[in-house]
Amino acid sequence: MSVPAASDPYFLVLHALRLKGFADTPAVASAAGVDAQEAGRYLDKAVAAGHATRRDGRISGWALTVEGRSRHAELIADELAGTGARPAIEEAYRRFAGVNNELLTVCTDWQLRGGALNDHQDPGYDRAVIERLAAVDQVIQPVGESLTDALGRFSSYGPRLRRALERVQAGDGDWFAKPLIDSYHTVWFELHEDLLATLGIERSQEGSPA
């Protein structure tokens, strides 16, 4: 069995900032798959190189500079060229796009019912929506596996999506689409952004809201 290609840790830190937009050190470390001390060293390196900036205050964190976004794009291109992973990522993206609208519809149906907020007082309705979410997950899990086979940095998405689904199935509806936690929609959005960033596709060009 082939070993998935590993990504350079400095690139992973820049990539975490690209996906998060603005994040504190623990969030960057978690997204990059490194410990907080290592993330801090790479973030300091990024600031010194002009690739990142630090903002302190009521909300403190890190963000890419214009130069950092450019360097990140160069590193993405180098990664795809060096690993030969682009065809696999493109195919996975096509499969993701094929189920993306269904995921959006399922999330909307969880939040709304008949044009009004879903009060979650109808267990049968909610159960049917959760079953549809589980059907989406059955489709996306193999996509996550194929992405991981191509590039190891995609390995967290499948387990995070499955974990969110399991929490919803256990009765915690927050894990369906609540922002600021690893809800199903939050992780899905991040995976979508990762695919777009990896393939160099602007979200505005794609025309999809998720």
Query: What one-character-per-residue DSSP string does 87-132 give?
Result: HHHHHHHHHHHHHHHHHHHHHHHHHEETTEE--S--HHHHHHHHHH
pLDDT confidence band for 67 (50 / 70 / 90) = very high
| Residues 90 and 191 both lie in one domain | yes
| Residues 78 and 90 both lie in one domain | no
Q: Domain count for the chain, please give it.
A: 2
The answer to whether residue 6 scores a pLDDT higher than 90 is no
Q: Are 112 and 177 in contact (CB under 8 A)?
A: no
Q: Is residue 38 part of a domain?
A: yes
Which has the higher per-residue pLDDT, 83 or 208?
A: 83
Q: Are 195 and 186 in contact (CB under 8 A)?
A: no
| Residues 160 and 189 both lie in one domain | yes
Q: Is residue 110 part of a domain?
A: yes
CB-CB neighbours of 3 under 10 Å:
7
Q: Are 28 and 17 in contact (CB under 8 A)?
A: yes
Q: Return the sign of the alpha-carbon dihedral for residues 123, 129, 131, 133.
A: negative
Question: Coil, strand or helix: which one is 113?
Answer: strand
Q: Which of 30, 62, 82 is at the close of a domain?
A: 82
The answer to whether residue 145 scores a pLDDT higher than 50 is yes
| Residues 77 and 93 both lie in one domain | no
Q: What is the mean pLDDT of residues 157-176?
A: 97
Q: Is residue 41 part of a domain?
A: yes
| Residues 94 and 180 both lie in one domain | yes
The answer to whether residue 174 scores a pLDDT higher than 70 is yes
Q: Is residue 4 part of a domain?
A: no
- Residue range(s) defining the domain that contains residue 185: 85-206
| Residues 60 and 157 both lie in one domain | no
Q: Is residue 1 part of a domain?
A: no
Q: What pLDDT does 49 receive?
A: 98
| Residues 161 and 114 both lie in one domain | yes
| Residues 38 and 101 both lie in one domain | no
Give the pLDDT confidence of 13-24 residue by residue, as tens digits.
999 999 999 999
Share above pLDDT 90 across residues of the chain, in percent, rounded to a whole number: 88
Q: Please state the pTM of the whole predicted model.
A: 0.90
Domain with residue 76: its CATH number is: 1.10.10.10
Give the pLDDT confidence of 81-129 residue by residue, as tens digits.
999 999 999 999 999 999 999 999 999 999 999 889 999 999 999 999 9
The Cα–Cα gap between 60 and 143 comes to 35
| Residues 68 and 97 both lie in one domain | no
pLDDT confidence band for 200 (50 / 70 / 90) = very high
Q: Are 182 and 143 in contact (CB under 8 A)?
A: no
The Cα–Cα gap between 109 and 16 comes to 30
Distances 98 to 21, 57, 101, 106, 140 between C-alpha atoms, Å:
26, 42, 7, 14, 10
| Residues 51 and 142 both lie in one domain | no
| Residues 24 and 58 both lie in one domain | yes
Q: Which of 65, 82, 99 is at the close of a domain?
A: 82
| Residues 57 and 69 both lie in one domain | yes
Q: What pLDDT does 3 receive?
A: 55
Which residues in the chain belong to E strands, given as ranges? 52-55, 61-64, 112-113, 116-117
Q: Is residue 3 part of a domain?
A: no
Q: Which two tokens stand for residue 52?
A: 């990142």
Q: Are 19 and 197 in contact (CB under 8 A)?
A: yes
The torsion angles phi and psi of 202, rounded to 5 degrees, stand at -80, 135
Q: Which two tokens stand for residue 130?
A: 């959760």
Q: What pLDDT does 1 receive?
A: 46
Q: Which of 82, 115, 146 is at the close of a domain?
A: 82
The Cα–Cα gap between 184 and 197 comes to 20
